[in-house]
A and B are shown apart, each in its own frame.
Chain A
Amino acid sequence: MRTSSTPRERTRYPVFAICFTLLLLVPLVVVVATAVNPGAYLKFPPDGFTLDWFTTAIETPRFQSSLLLSLRIAVIASVVGLALTIPTAVAITRGRRRLRPWVSTATVLPLITPDMLLALGLLIMLVQIGMASSLIGLVLGHVLIGMPLAVQVLVAALSGVDENIEQAAQTLGASRATAFVRVTLPAILPAIGSAAVFLFIFSFDNVSISLFLSAPGQTTLPITMFQYLEYNSDPTVSAMSTILIVLSLVVAVVLSRLGGLSHLAGSPTRRSS
């Protein structure tokens, strides 16, 4: 006699989905593997293990200066972006009804426009006002790209804050501004962290805007790597890529701690469903 097992009590594993998810991660694994291969050529699977290429990558002047430039721009873009997006999110959640749709539409526009168009338009404008190849243009362009998601994260957090707590603070003697700074702001601190991380990584990873707005000889890391890969591919660039993958992992961990990871792909990965 065959004992019938009830399928609903066993947890069933999505075989196709698991395989496919892993397949999407394979390129990253290959990059890391080729970075630790001792030979001066790209080999997968690697023949041995060495960390020498990381030293070489960091010490390559082109990569070094680009990495520093990218980090600098990303940090500035995060700060400028926060200064711009926090008030915006407040206006969207607490502002006048009639103003809200305008502001939220404005923040979505760069998201639905191809990066190439944004980049071309910015370049034309910057050339006209004589600021092409200035870092300011690059920073502002990066803020434009990262801003939509940052606003989205902040708006979600702000609408989750009980508006009564701000009013309670007012009844206790706090002016509206004090109430916001002392009570609401601390409550959305994790979201501000997430927004900052998004602004940072969107700036750091950007290709299209940087491609158009970087000054010659002063390119951000993704552009340097792109140009390098046009003529070479060796373990050095794999090592540099591995550094970026590790950075992404760090960002992912930070984001999941702050609860911002679910916003990355349109927020269907909400905790309970």
Chain B
Amino acid sequence: MTRARSPEDEATLGRRGSWLLGGPMLVFVVALFGYPAYLVLRTSVASGDGLDSGGFSLTHYVTFFTDSLYLDALLNTFVIAVVSTAVTAVLGLLYAYEITRRPGLRTVLLLLLVLPLLVNGVVRIYGLQLGMISLDRVLLDLGLRDTPLGLQYSFAGIIIALVMFQFPFMALAVYAGLSRLDVSLVEAAQTLGAPRREVLVRVVLPLAVPGLVAGSVLTFAAAAGTFIVPAMMGGGRVNTIPQMIYTSVSQTSQWATASAFAVVLVAILAVSILYSLRRGLRSTAGTR
């Protein structure tokens, strides 16, 4: 970072003006993000389970990693996040590649794609459940199945809902990279005798990687952190960390336990994301 003043620097806000305008946001974020985050961390290492217990102990973490109920929730959370991220990434890549190669109706498609993002999550899950119930009835009526799939309360249902929620972000992130692809480049490579698969791997994929990484980070974080999706789609059968956090607080007032869950969740997210970012950056570094 240079401390040099650039030509336009003086024409803009001075020191006092900058602090006056930027300061409130800093205060806001410290007060409503920084301090609460500290409180969660502090509460998670308190000796008792109440709010003002004070002291220091790692009991809550120890409990977490020794209790099979909690470990199951941890595993569930992780599997849900990984699977839904992988599915979303594959679908998003296919989608983005196709609308890059075949631009018909592209503007309308992208508009329809972001539209559901403005609809309330509860409503979207409710609609998805209704759709799954209807699907079951159609399958039964047509005699294609003897028993209902019961997707509306299932592990698969959670994955489907998360894919549906995160797909627009993934598709658009990948498309942002692919839209820089010159279609004639693909055709040129083909006329030069490169087989289709080779073209995809050498020309198309590198452009998609940054978007895939960004989209995956978003999807992973959302899937691991969501409360409403497993709460509604899981039908109380699939336990995840966010659900444990909520029940610990709302039903049993185990503040320290809830805080420890939250810290573990953030730790998992941070480690996974940093790891995938490093991998992602390394694989794009070669294409530059």
Which residues from chain A sit less than 8 Å from chain B, CB to CB? 11-18, 20-22, 24-31, 34, 42, 44, 84-85, 87-88, 90-92, 94-100, 102-103, 106-107, 109-110, 112-118, 120-125, 127-128, 140-141, 143-144, 147, 151, 163, 167, 176, 201, 204-205, 207-208, 211-212, 221-222, 225-226, 229, 233, 237-238, 241, 244-245, 248-249, 251-252, 255-256, 261, 264-266, 268-269, 273
Contacts and interface: CB of A to CB of B under 8 A. Distances in A.
B26 A122 contact: no
Given A27-B131, A120-B259, A225-B126, 18 more contacts: A14-B104, A24-B167, A31-B123, A87-B25, A97-B9, A103-B25, A116-B242, A117-B265, A120-B249, A121-B33, A229-B232, A244-B120, A245-B119, A261-B111, A266-B176, A268-B175, A269-B110, A273-B179
Chain A at the B interface: SS class: helix
Contact of B123 (A12, A94, A241, A268): A241
Chain B at the A interface: SS class: helix
A18 B105 CA distance: 9
A221 B122 CA distance: 10
B69 interface: no
Nearest to A226: B122
Contacts of B179: 268, 273
Q: Interface size bucket, B side?
A: 35 or more
Contact of B245 (A97, A110, A116): A116
A5 to B, nearest CB: 15
Contacts of A226: 122, 228, 231-232
A102 B98 CA distance: 39
Contact of A12 (B101, B119, B127, B176): B101
Interface of B: 1, 3, 5-6, 8-9, 11-15, 17-22, 24-26, 28-30, 32-33, 35-37, 39-40, 43, 51-52, 91, 94-95, 98-99, 101-106, 109-124, 126-128, 130-131, 133-134, 164, 167-169, 172-173, 175-176, 179, 214, 221, 224-225, 227-228, 231-232, 242, 245-246, 249, 255, 258-259, 262, 265-266, 269
A31 B262 CA distance: 34
A120 B258 contact: yes
Contacts of B113: 21, 24, 265
A117 B164 contact: no
Contact of B43 (A124, A205, A233, A245): A124
Contacts, number: 293
A265 B122 contact: no
A249 B111 CA distance: 11
A201 to B, nearest CB: 6
A144 B262 CA distance: 18
A211 B121 CA distance: 13
Contact of B119 (A88, A99, A100, A244): A244
B227 A124 contact: no
B226 to A, nearest CB: 8
